[in-house]
Amino acid sequence: MTPHAVFLQQLVNGLTIGVVYALIALGYTMVYGIIQLINFAHGEIFMLGAYLGLTVLALGGVAGAGGPAAIGLGVVGGLAAIGGCAVVGWLVERVAYRPLRQSPKLAALITAIGASFVLQNAAMLCYGARDRYVPNPFPVSQWQWGGVAMTGMQVLIAAVALTVMIGLQWFIRATTLGQAMRATAQDPVAARLMGIPVDRVIAWTFMIGSGLAGIGGALFGIYYTTINFHDGYLTGLKAFTAAVLGGIGNVPGAVLGGLLLGLLEGLGAGYLSSQWKNVLAFAVLVLLLLFRPRGLLGERVAERA
């Protein structure tokens, strides 16, 4: 491979994982934007999405790429991941966050950690502690342009993520619920005075964010072919840094942050070593925060601890 092709290949690989980070980061950023809380259980919801996708594929008896039936089951798996994760997200909000809305913020951080333990161990109990193989129900295809390979899965991930993100942007801008979300994020008290059911809006925010993480998880599982109950933690952490990178609370910022982090990792893995790529991601994050604390697209400086 020519150096040029190597660079492009790393770019493609990096962007693919970056898109997944962006999907998860959206959930972090939406929740933070609306109640200024770091939802530490979000990474686990992403991991559950991968498992839910796997469950549908396993129940349907999909072992690998097949005909329309397998593709159909793949789509159903994705939808199940969205739905299932939305329900779990709602439940987590209801049990771990809503009762603590008037409490010190650190208390909510601890319940978030508790919820994360619960989800992780529930997944381990249901699916076992070992890596589980996730079959790919979609036809395996690959395109080549001048030495750069792109798999069908990469195209699918990009397409799904793009659709979802555009849909989300439309949803936040154009629908009544989206408007209510923006109002609540701006000023919860005033929003309540205007007759917005703030608690319900917050619940919806959790559900939408969790659904996005769910589809991200389902795609991630198929792309990497295995899933483990530990996977939510590091991926969640990175998606969170992506959200901060873009400016937490800012929806386009989360997408930008995710893509940048993915690119950085892809190029870091290609040119340095894959061992050091995690340091690179965190070092850039720390440096960025020091020189531009509100992130790339962040509008306001959040200081509430």
Partner 1 sequence: MTRPTPRELLGRTHPLQGLLGRSLGIGLLVALPLVDGNAYHIDVLTVAWLYALLALGLNIIVGFAGLLNLGYAAFFAIGAYSYALANLQWGMTFWVGLPFSALVAGCAGVILGLPAIRVRGDYLAIVTLGFGEIVRIVVTNLEPWTGGPNGLLGIAGPVIGGLDFGVTSAPYYWLAFALVVLGVWMSQRLMRSRMGRAWMAIREDELAAQCVGIDTVRVKLIAHGCGAAIGGLAGCLFAAKQGTITPDSFDFILSVMVLAMVVLGGLGNPVGVVVGAVALTVLPELLREFAVYRMLLFGLTLILIMRFRPQGLLGARQIGRELKVRGAPAR
Residues that bind partner 1 (CB under 8 A): 32, 36, 38, 40, 95-96, 99-100, 103-104, 106-111, 113-118, 120-122, 124-125, 233, 237, 240-241, 244, 248, 275-276, 278-279, 282-283, 285-286, 289-290, 293, 302-305
- Provide the 3-class DSSP secondary structure of residue 132: strand
Q: d(Cα 191, Cα 235) in Å, to the nearest integer?
A: 34
Smallest separation, CB 266 to partner 1 (Å):
18
Whose Cβ is closer to partner 1: residue 38's or residue 76's? 38
Minimum CB separation from partner 1 for residue 285, in Å? Answer: 5
Q: How far is the CB of 216 from partner 1 (least distance, A)?
A: 21
Which of 126, 123, 120 is CA-nearest to residue 236? 120
- 25, 278 in Cβ contact below 8 A? no
Q: How far apart are CA 81 and CA 60, in angstroms?
A: 15
Q: Which two tokens stand for residue 196?
A: 């917005």
Closer CB to partner 1, 120 or 154, in the complex: 120
- Cβ neighbors of 240 (< 8 A, separation 6 or more) are 25, 28, 38, 42, 43
Sign of CA dihedral 175, 177, 180, 181: negative
Query: 16, 162 in Cβ contact below 8 A?
Result: no
Question: Tokens 């693919």, residue?
Answer: 16
Residue closer to partner 1 (CB basis): 176 or 273: 273
How far is the C-alpha of 80 from the C-alpha of 49, rounded, in Å?
8
What is the closest distance, in whole angstroms, from the C-beta atom of residue 295 to partner 1 in the complex?
Answer: 9
Least distance (Å) from partner 1 to the CB of residue 172? 22
Nearer to partner 1, 144 or 275 (CB): 275
Q: What is the distance between the alpha carbons of residues 129 and 144, in angstroms, rounded to a whole number?
A: 37
The angle at the Cα of 111, spanning 205 to 41, to the nearest 5 degrees, equals 50
Q: How far is the CB of 87 from partner 1 (least distance, A)?
A: 18
The least CB distance from residue 66 to partner 1, in Å, is: 35
Residue 118: partners with Cβ closer than 8 Å, 6 or more residues away: none
Q: How far is the CB of 251 from partner 1 (least distance, A)?
A: 18
Query: Between 68 and 303, whose beta carbon lies closer to partner 1?
Result: 303
When the beta carbons of 120 and 228 are compared against partner 1, the nearer one is 120
Q: Which is nearer to partner 1, 34 or 285 (CB)?
A: 285
Which two tokens mark 6?
Answer: 């190597």
Cα 283 from Cα 142, distance rounded (Å):
34
Closer by beta carbon to partner 1, 107 or else 190: 107
